[in-house]
Amino acid sequence: MNSQDMSILSLVLHASWVVQLVMLLLLGVSVASWAAIFRKLFALKRVKNLNEEFERDFWSGTSLNDLYASAAQNAKNAGPMERIFASGMREYQKLRERRITDPGTLLDGARRAMRASFQREMDVVESSLSFLGSVASVSPYVGLFGTVWGIMHAFTGFAGMEQVTLATVAPGIAEALVATAIGLFAAIPAVIAYNRFARDIDRVATHQETFIEEFSNILQRNLGAHPGSPSGH
């Protein structure tokens, strides 16, 4: 390689095949990471909007039975909070159909159904988060491996030279360091996105857990006032 030709493209093209393979792997991981970031960004925005829309309907004074009927019809397009509510109401109605009238049993059944639905919804919301965490933690080390291998390859090439100068060493070292740079290029956005999404997901989880408690309190009040099918809140 010409010692004066130090462009990034030239460094990549003249790197050893192992370093090139590492770079290609890191670029592929970076593309997959950005795709996951954008998917998660839009998915969390959609979850937030759907939850807020359902919560407005829930506190608007609409009866619980009407909300449940709407949730059952809109199951495919419903948000997590609406599906959690529907799970609780569905279990409540099933228990009523079995002629169970004990308020504690009805409330516990509805709460268990909502908690199970909550866990399922959080599993969906948290998807791809582990991938971003892995990219953030592993990419720098993969890049470092490429750098170490490249430096070893460069120095073995200098073994037969009688005189080694900075001009002859620099291109080989630079080729190797590109792998570390690409590793950081893949890792840094993944770290930032992971921390951002983890915080947003925690907020979604807290919001939905609060709704479960509020809905449970409404059911408890309705059961205490007039045991039967809840109609309002």
Q: Is the pLDDT of residue 174 over 90?
A: no
CB burial of 57-90 (b: ≥16 within 10 Å; e: otherwise) equals ebeeeeebeebbeebeeeeeebbbbbbbbbbbbb
What are the Cα distances from residue 108, in Å, to 12, 104, 200, 217? Answer: 62, 6, 29, 12
Specify the pLDDT at position 11.
64
Q: Is the pLDDT of residue 228 over 70?
A: no
Specify the pLDDT at position 169.
62
Specify the pLDDT at position 179.
83
For 218: left if phi > 0, alpha if psi spans -120 to 50, otherwise beta; the answer is alpha
How do residues 19-33 score in pLDDT, each as one tens digit?
788 888 999 999 999
Burial of 14 per CB tally in 10 Å (0-12, 13-18, 19+): middle
Q: Is the pLDDT of residue 3 over 50?
A: no
CB 193 within 8 A of CB 200: no
Widest pairwise Cα distance in the chain:
97
28, 17, 33: which is closest to 134 by C-alpha?
33
Residue 163 or residue 180, greater confidence: 180
How do residues 82-127 score in pLDDT, each as one tens digit?
999 999 999 999 988 888 888 889 999 999 999 999 999 999 999 8
**Residue 7, SS3?**
coil
Specify the pLDDT at position 146.
84
Residues 74-87 have a mean pLDDT of 90
- The percent of residues above 70 in pLDDT, for the chain, comes to 81
Q: Is the pLDDT of residue 14 over 90?
A: no
Give the integer Cα–Cα distance in Å for 113 and 111: 5
Each domain of the chain, given as residue ranges in start order, spans 8-223
Q: Is the pLDDT of residue 208 over 70?
A: yes
Looking at residue 229, the DSSP 8-state letter turns out to be S
State pTM to two decimals: 0.80
Going by pLDDT thresholds of 50, 70 and 90, the confidence category of residue 17 is confident
